[in-house]
Structure 1
Amino acid sequence: MAPTPPIPALEPAFDVEARLGPLEDHGMTRAGHRRVIPVAGGTITGQIEGTLLAGGADWQVVRADGSIEINGHYSARTNEGELLLIHSVGVRSGAPAVLEALLHGEQVDPSEYYFRTAVTIETSASRLREFEASLYVTSCVREADAVRYTAYRVT
């Protein structure tokens, strides 16, 4: 009999608060309705402590139903000075009125929409290599000028 694959579990790992710049609406491209939201800074706390660096962004494609495909790339510097590259891929979906409210910066209860991503980390810091060897899933909250999420390591 073949061995049974392990059942994954989730372990809280770190929290991120990303401050965002103004939305850049690129309109309809060959990929679809493209938007870019710059990362202006922020924090990472928990098993990793540090600051998000300005210069990253979330490249989005808005689907026909208004749902958003998330593809974020941004960097962080730990309190010890080590650099991390963070890649976040996911989706934000919900009722059209809820998605429209979020687009206009209105406060919406996170239970009213679905906003989840899968996160991977890249680093040259040997102390942080364990973070490269894992996949993280997040549960996110969109605010007027920020995104907050908790990242859970998938065991």
Structure 2
Amino acid sequence: MTGAPVPGLEHAFDVEVALGALEDHGETRQGHRRVVPIVGGSVRGLFDAEILASGADWQIVRPDGTIEVDARYTAKTPDGAHILIHATGVRSGPPAVLEALLRGEAMDPSAYYFRTVLTLEAGGEEHAELQRTIFIASAVREADRVTYSAYRVT
């Protein structure tokens, strides 16, 4: 009997997500809730698609400033397939860096931690493999967008 295989990473695709204005919902039973509308963007790589203005990132801001990411949005491929992208993760870092990001200031991505786990949902056999794979991403927060590179976990 052998041990479990050691996972590896393969670059899969790059994403640019355009963001709308942050909505601060205040303290809720879940914590400090913020919602960031997703208003467009693109996916390039393993599949190409345009991100539709149909989703949002429903965030919880922890007392230490760490942001729990829970984003869901739809991308549409040139052949008309819809792919639901669900990204969960965290963005954390020194308070001054997180506050600067909130103000829309450019920050060196190495100054904060922004990682997500991606699961994809798609109809039809052409994109079925996307549903049988876990992806992880390293992301960058900009004033009006998030960009990230996604890696297939092998």
User: TM-score range, shorter-chain basis?
Assistant: over 0.9
Q: Report the Cα offset of residue 45 of structure 1.
A: 0.3
Q: Which amino acid in structure 1 is aligned with residue 42 of structure 2?
A: T
Displacement, 1:38? 0.4
1:36-56 CA-partner distances (Å, limit 9, x unpaired)? 000000000001101000010
> Which residue is equivalent to 1:38?
37
Structure 2: runs of 5+ lacking an equivalent? none
Q: Map 1:58-137 onto structure 2 (within 5 A).
A: 58-137=57-136
CA distance in 2, matches of 1:105, 1:125: 39
How far has the Cα of 1:125 moved from its partner?
Answer: 2.6
Q: Distance in 2 between matches of 1:55 and 1:77?
A: 11
Task: Tell me the amino acid that sits aligned with residue 34 of structure 2.
Answer: R
* Paired residue secondary structure (2:80): coil
Question: Aligned-pair distance for 1:86?
Answer: 0.5
Report the Cα distance in structure 2 between the residues aligned to 1:77 and 1:86, rounded to whole angstroms.
Answer: 11
Specify the alignment match of 1:5 in structure 2: 4
TM-score in terms of structure 1 length = 0.98
Q: Which residue of 2 aligns with 1:150?
A: 149
CA distance, structure 1, for counterparts of residue 105 and residue 6 of structure 2: 38
Which amino acid in the other structure matches residue 28 of structure 2? Answer: T
CA contact (8 A) 1:17 1:146 kept: yes
Alignment match, 1:26? 25
Equivalent residue pairs, number: 154
TM-score (norm 2): 0.99
Alpha-carbon separation, structure 2, partners of 1:92 and 1:58: 12
Q: CA deviation at 1:3?
A: 2.6
Aligned to 1:141: 140
Residue in structure 1 matched with residue 51 of structure 2 by the alignment: 52
Distance in structure 2 (CA, Å) of the matches to 1:79 and 1:65:
42
> C-alpha separation between the residues in 1 aligned to 2:78 and 2:16?
16
Which one is further off, 135-144 or 124-133?
A: 124-133
- DSSP 3-state at the match of 2:126: helix
Residue 129 of structure 1 deviates from its aligned partner by: 0.5
Contact 1:83 1:125 in 2 (8 A): no
Which runs of structure 1 show a deviation greater than 4 angstroms over 4 or more consecutive aligned residues? none
Counterpart amino acid of residue 90 in structure 1: G
- Distance in 1 (CA, whole Å) between partners of 2:17 and 2:131 is 20
1:45, 1:132 → 2: CA distance? Answer: 17
